[in-house]
Amino acid sequence: MNLKKFLFGKLTKEQEILFYSAIIALAIILFGLILSLLFENFNILLNSFIFAIFVFVLPFFLYRYIHFLEIKDCEKYLPIFLGDLKEAKKSGISFPEAIRSCKGDYGKLNKYVEKLKKDISWGINIDSALKHMQKSLSESRILSRSISTLLETYRSGGNIENILETLINSLLKIMESEKYRKSIMQQHVFMMYGIFFMFIGLIIALGNFLIPMISNIGGTETGIGSVQLKANSPCLACYDPFCYSLCGYYNTIGNMFGFGEPNSLSVYYKSLFFTMILIQGFFTGIIAGQISAKSWIEGAKHGLIMVLLGLFIIIMANFVGLF
């Protein structure tokens, strides 16, 4: 902990997660390097490198996704808090006192409401307290704009109860329309998952039937009968750095997942198809998240699910000889 503060100073929660994840990922890579040297197997290092990437990315993603769910829960309970605030204000007490008198159950919003109450109790003016709450919930446009409206309502004075009533009705209508849109878009998300699985099935069929067909193509007639020519991998005809690096990547993937001998036709096409599945899965998931929730974190969730599903299906299909 002292080393972390010495190197980076005070870190946010997200930065701390990335810091510790990076340390664990480096430890995994180092351990894999030692094992690969002991057993003289380069695949151990490659597999440990992939595992380290997941260890580095997954905790940060989980933290962001949990925070995303928390924000959504806050949006759900905001109209209830505003309703209690309106009823408290009807009793004739001041606006800060009305906030302090709200004691309902507001789900994940509770901790933000309690922080607002403490700020007011400690003598912080209502403007600064609401601005701090707005900053804490700035990732949600609904929450940020609602708190901004609350702040302007306090500043302008007038009939605060009527303004709160209008704000509550507007929030409920927005949430109802969002819920309806999400239920409609959910069908498209399922459709995108179905298309992705169809794509994987097509890739498996290509790997199982097309590659053997290509490898045996090119029969020719001679004076003594038929001679069958074997097709070679395009990597055997590489003459530029880009081709060398691309084929090196294909050979690495093929070596890791047992797709065949290096620079073979099988490794070339299976590694190409495998990469296509990962790319297709990730970007299909991003689009699915944008359709369903208009959020990159939701898209990253679907993308990660599709990548892991594609990875698992291809590994199992290759293991049983279907790919």
Question: How would you write the pLDDT of the chain (323 residues) with one tens digit per residue?
Answer: 455 554 555 667 788 888 888 899 999 999 988 988 888 777 778 778 888 888 888 888 889 889 888 998 998 999 999 998 888 888 888 888 888 888 888 889 999 999 988 988 888 888 888 888 888 888 888 888 888 888 887 787 767 888 888 889 988 898 888 888 888 888 888 999 999 999 999 998 888 887 777 776 654 444 444 444 456 777 877 777 788 788 888 888 888 888 888 888 888 889 999 999 999 999 999 998 888 877 888 888 899 999 999 999 998 988 888 88
Is the CB of residue 129 less than 8 Å from the CB of residue 120? yes
Radius of gyration of the chain (CA): 29
- Do residues 126 and 183 both lie within one domain? no
Are residues 151 and 57 located together in one domain of the fold? yes
- What is the pLDDT, as a whole number, of residue 219? 44
Examine the domain organization and report whether 188 and 154 are in the same domain.
no
Q: Are residues 191 and 61 in the same domain?
A: no
Residue 187 lies in a domain: yes
At residue 75, what is the residue type? E
Q: Which helix (H) or strand (E) holds 40?
A: none
> 72 is in which domain, residue-wise?
1-158
pLDDT of 217 reads 62
- How much is the pLDDT for 102? 86
pLDDT of residue 275: 92
The verdict on 209 and 119 lying in the same domain is: no
Residues 195 and 247 in one domain: yes
**C-alpha neighbours within 13 Å on the C-beta side of residue 55:** 17
Q: Is 248 inside a domain boundary? A: yes
Kind and range of the H or E run holding 221: strand 220-222
The pLDDT score that the predictor gives to residue 223 is: 45
DSSP three-state, residue 228 = coil
Rounded Cα distance, 263 and 252, in Å: 10
Q: What is the pTM of this model?
A: 0.75
Whole-number Å distance between alpha carbons of 75 and 175: 8
pLDDT for the residue numbered 120: 87
- 75 DSSP 8-state letter: H
Count how many domains the chain has. Answer: 2
2 and 137 in a single domain? The answer is yes
In a domain? residue 136: yes
Asked if 236 and 197 sit in the same domain, the reply is yes
Task: Tell me, yes or no, whether 93 and 140 share the same domain.
Answer: yes
Q: How far is CA 22 from CA 13, 54, 97, in A?
A: 14, 11, 47
DSSP summary character for residue 235: G
* Residue 165, in any domain of the structure: no
Residue 210 lies in a domain: yes
pLDDT value of position 199: 93
Q: Is the domain of 32 the same as that of 125?
A: yes
- In this prediction, residue 10 carries a pLDDT of 65
